[in-house]
Chain A
Amino acid sequence: NAGVTQTPKFRVLKTGQSMTLLCAQDMNHEYMYWYRQDPGMGLRLIYYSASEGTTDKGEVPNGYNVSRLKKQNFLLGLESAAPSQTSVYFCASSANPENTEAFFGQGTRLTVV
């Protein structure tokens, strides 16, 4: 059972470079999320998507963009990476946000130098 799969798992970028993180889920979940996790802080929501073709900003969207062209995929883009975007990024999905658990991918450790 794949669940939620993120690629890549590790990446080092130079300041100003761009990249896309891919998240794929095979549970037919409507909701998908991108979080970042930094030391000493809770998970912070970057963007989320309530259905295919829709996206909404979370707590920390600046410097990122997203797309959900297919229900199973949720892409996170960094157009011009900055050292402040060094973090561990987690994708998650859920059937609905109200009372069901979210399933997380294994994370992408991104370093911007």
Chain B
Amino acid sequence: GQNIDQPTEMTATEGAIVQINCTYQTSGFNGLFWYQQHAGEAPTFLSYNVLDGLEEKGRFSSFLSRSKGYSYLLLKELQMKDSASYLCAVMDSNYQLIWGAGTKLIIKP
């Protein structure tokens, strides 16, 4: 079966760095997405990786290793507004997105 695993919840301190991991087992791979979802709101796109390596976008970076079925989202200089759930999703061979359950990130002052 297809499976996306990410931690349920993480806590970090304002100004610090946090890494959210995602491991996947899917039938085929056509890219990995990270979305941010604030409580009660819609998911919004953060990043897309299809090749191995690190993609940097401001305070957020996303890494992919296809051979290991592994990705992480790195958030630097954490701000209170970064408190949200972070969703990992993999596009399988049929171009369907398989979603993880999300990681709730709690930022403390």
Contacts and interface: CB of A to CB of B under 8 A. Distances in A.
A binds B: yes
Given A42-B4, A42-B100, A90 B31 contact: no
Nearest to A35: B99
Contact of A98 (B40, B45, B87, B91): B91
A13 interface: no
Nearest to B33: A101
A101 B48 contact: yes
B87 A43 contact: yes
Contacts of A74: none
B31 A98 contact: yes
A50 B45 CA distance: 20
Contact of A97 (B8, B44, B91, B102): B91
A98 B99 contact: no
A35 to B, nearest CB: 8
Contact of A41 (B42, B91, B101): B101
11 contacts: A42-B99, A43-B87, A45-B96, A97-B96, A97-B97, A101-B48, A104-B42, A105-B42, A107-B40, A107-B41, A107-B42
Contact of B101 (A4, A40, A90, A102): A40
A102 B45 contact: yes
B33 to A, nearest CB: 7
A110 B44 CA distance: 21
Contacts of A97: 91, 95-97
A41 B41 CA distance: 16
Nearest to A4: B42
A86 interface: no
Interface string B58-93: 000000000000000000000000000001010100
A29 interface: no
